[in-house]
Amino acid sequence: MIRLFKVKEKQRELAENANGGSPIKKQSAGELRLHKDISELNLPKSCSMSFPNGKDDLMNFEVSIRPDEGYYFGGTFLFSFQVSPIYPHEAPKVKCKTKVYHPNIDLEGNVCLNILREDWKPVLNINTVIYGLYHLFTEPNSEDPLNHDAAAVLRDNPKMFESNVKRAMYGGYVGQTYFPRCM
């Protein structure tokens, strides 16, 4: 290709090229795929989204979930999503911003959801993740605990679990831990 290089180098030396067609910002393949995911979102009424950095930053967004049944009925739970440029090769990073008494979410907001870690596959999308999160609220499970205490209560005494959840959502203490109101 040396002949081409030579031609180009000479052009380069002659003048700054007049072609104004070069793009300003590079959009990664991950961003494009995310664009597709988001433009095709089909969320239940109980979920809504916001984009804190405006309409052009899709890589960082928030999802709020208001479960319409189950233990967590009436609460609002906010999740932050961080998507990598090599999405969907890598799962989005999801944290729960609302402090919640939940067997599968710890007090730091870490979420134990298989598709966010060991079972993530590039064919999955943002929609599946949001549905997965939603299901954590309608069907919390005591078998994959991240909050050990909450899981034990759910397993051994569902009634008490229910009242603990209520207490936490109204804003109050469960054991030593204070939960701000999220109703």
Binding status of residue 157 toward other proteins by CB under 8 A: no
Please identify which residue in the block is written with the tokens 């939603």: 134
User: How many whole angstroms separate alpha carbon 116 and alpha carbon 162?
Assistant: 26
In the set 47, 96, 112, 182, the catalytic residue is: 112
Among 46, 60, 84, 138, indicate the residue that binds other proteins (CB under 8 A).
84
Binding status of residue 155 toward other proteins by CB under 8 A: yes
Task: Report whether the peptide linkage leading into residue 88 is cis, meaning its omega lies within 30 degrees of zero.
Answer: yes
Q: How far is the CB of 157 from other proteins (least distance, A)?
A: 15
Among 46, 60, 78, 107, indicate the residue that binds other proteins (CB under 8 A).
107
Nearer to other proteins, 31 or 162 (CB): 31
According to DSSP, the residues that pair with 48 across neighbouring strands are 64
Please identify which residue in the block is written with the tokens 């969320």: 43
Catalytic residue check, 112: yes
Q: Do the bridges between strand 77-82 and strand 93-96 make them parallel or antiparallel, or are there none, so unpaired?
A: antiparallel
Among 70, 74, 82, 86, indicate the residue that binds other proteins (CB under 8 A).
86
Nearer to other proteins, 147 or 164 (CB): 147
Q: How far is the CB of 52 from other proteins (least distance, A)?
A: 11
Which runs of consecutive H residues, i.e. helices, occur in the chain? 2-14, 29-39, 126-138, 148-156, 158-170
Q: Phi and psi at residue 165, in whole multiples of 5°?
A: -60, -45
Judge contact between 153 and 140, C-beta under 8 A: no
Among 14, 15, 20, 159, indicate the residue that binds other proteins (CB under 8 A).
20
Binding status of residue 25 toward other proteins by CB under 8 A: yes
Among 96, 100, 111, 136, indicate the residue that binds other proteins (CB under 8 A).
111
The catalytic site residues sit at 112
